[in-house]
Amino acid sequence: AQSVTQPDIHITVSEGASLELRCNYSYGATPYLFWYVQSPGQGLQLLLKYFSGDTLVQGIKGFEAEFKRSQSSFNLRKPSVHWSDAAEYFCAVVLYGGSQGNLIFGKGTKLSVKP
């Protein structure tokens, strides 16, 4: 079955430290890949997306993600975390070219930032 796995439920990092959030997917073909962020009491906001081409994609708020086909991964990174980055982060995929593709989300990783 198609699935998205975010192995880390909760991560705590110090402000200014680097961050990497993991995401793995199980699809036979290359999907569209997304990272969304959800602040408390809010809806989700798109950070970045990968469709094709350069496997390192840049997003908003200083985030980037790298697609690695061999590892079926799409990890999110940020070189220096700010306190305002504390939120929940969701990886999502949709099967490329599917006529009825729907976005499948991982369970999310909650990020806490220590001062």
Partner 1 sequence: KAGVTQTPRYLIKTRGQQVTLSCSPISGHRSVSWYQQTPGQGLQFLFEYFSETQRNKGNFPGRFSGRQFSNSRSEMNVSTLELGDSALYLCASSLLGTHAGGELFFGEGSRLTVL
The site for partner 1 (CB under 8 A) is made up of 32, 34, 36, 41-46, 49, 51, 90, 94, 96, 98-108
Is residue 90 classed exposed, middle or buried when 0-12, 13-18 and 19+ CB atoms within 10 A define those classes?
buried
Least Å distance between CB 5 and partner 1? 12
Least Å distance between CB 43 and partner 1? 3
Closest CA to 39 of 95, 82, 85, 75: 85
Residue nearer to partner 1 on the CB measure, 15 or 94 = 94
Residue nearer to partner 1 on the CB measure, 62 or 101 = 101
Closest CA to 109 of 78, 69, 80: 78
Least Å distance between CB 2 and partner 1? 12
Enumerate the β-bridge partners of residue 21: 76
Least Å distance between CB 52 and partner 1? 10
Compute the chain's Rg from CA coordinates. Answer: 14
Residue nearer to partner 1 on the CB measure, 38 or 75 = 38
Enumerate the β-bridge partners of residue 57: 65
Enumerate the β-bridge partners of residue 58: 64
Residue nearer to partner 1 on the CB measure, 81 or 93 = 93
